[in-house]
């Protein structure tokens, strides 16, 4: 049972990284027909912003609420380390968002060239 709990926690953590990227790609495809640069900008900026706010809610607030419901106190080291982890992973989201937008731009350019020929 503990293995299932560990697998579920890992899945929840990885989905916290993947869902904002997916949303950024979907926003890109939605806005692309109106303005290409604006679509890339929104697709690049939206994932780190969403990750930053969602991770604060999920990674920090949930364990704190659970500990407070049991009458325990949270050490400041936990909050500090989780904050550093959130900042690092927000940087990872920025880099991966940039890579995803470069790939999407390359695919859009090759599709445009193929359609012209």
- What would the pLDDT profile of 41-99 be if each residue is shown by its tens digit? 999 999 999 999 888 877 777 777 777 788 888 777 888 888 898 999 999 999 999 99
Find the angle CA(18)-CA(24)-CA(28) to the nearest 5 degrees: 145
What tokens does 92 get? 């990872």
- Between CA 78 and CA 21 the distance in angstroms is 27
Predicted confidence at residue 94, as pLDDT, reads 93
- pTM (whole model) above 0.75: yes
State the burial class of residue 48 (Cβ atoms within 10 Å of its Cβ: 0-12, 13-18, 19+): buried
Map tokens 């009458």 to a residue. Answer: 71
């Amino acid at each position: 049972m503990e293995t299932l709990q560990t697998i579920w926690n890992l899945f929840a953590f990885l989905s916290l990284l993947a869902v904002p990227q997916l949303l950024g790609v979907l926003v890109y495809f939605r806005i692309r027909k109106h303005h290409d640069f604006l679509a890339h900008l929104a697709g690049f900026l939206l994932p780190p912003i969403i990750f930053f706010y969602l991770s604060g809610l999920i990674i920090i607030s949930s364990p704190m609420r659970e500990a407070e419901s049991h009458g325990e106190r949270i050490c400041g080291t936990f909050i500090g380390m989780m904050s550093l982890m959130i900042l690092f992973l927000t940087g990872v989201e920025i880099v991966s968002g940039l890579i995803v937008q470069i790939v999407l731009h390359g695919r859009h350019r090759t599709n445009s060239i193929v359609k012209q020929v």
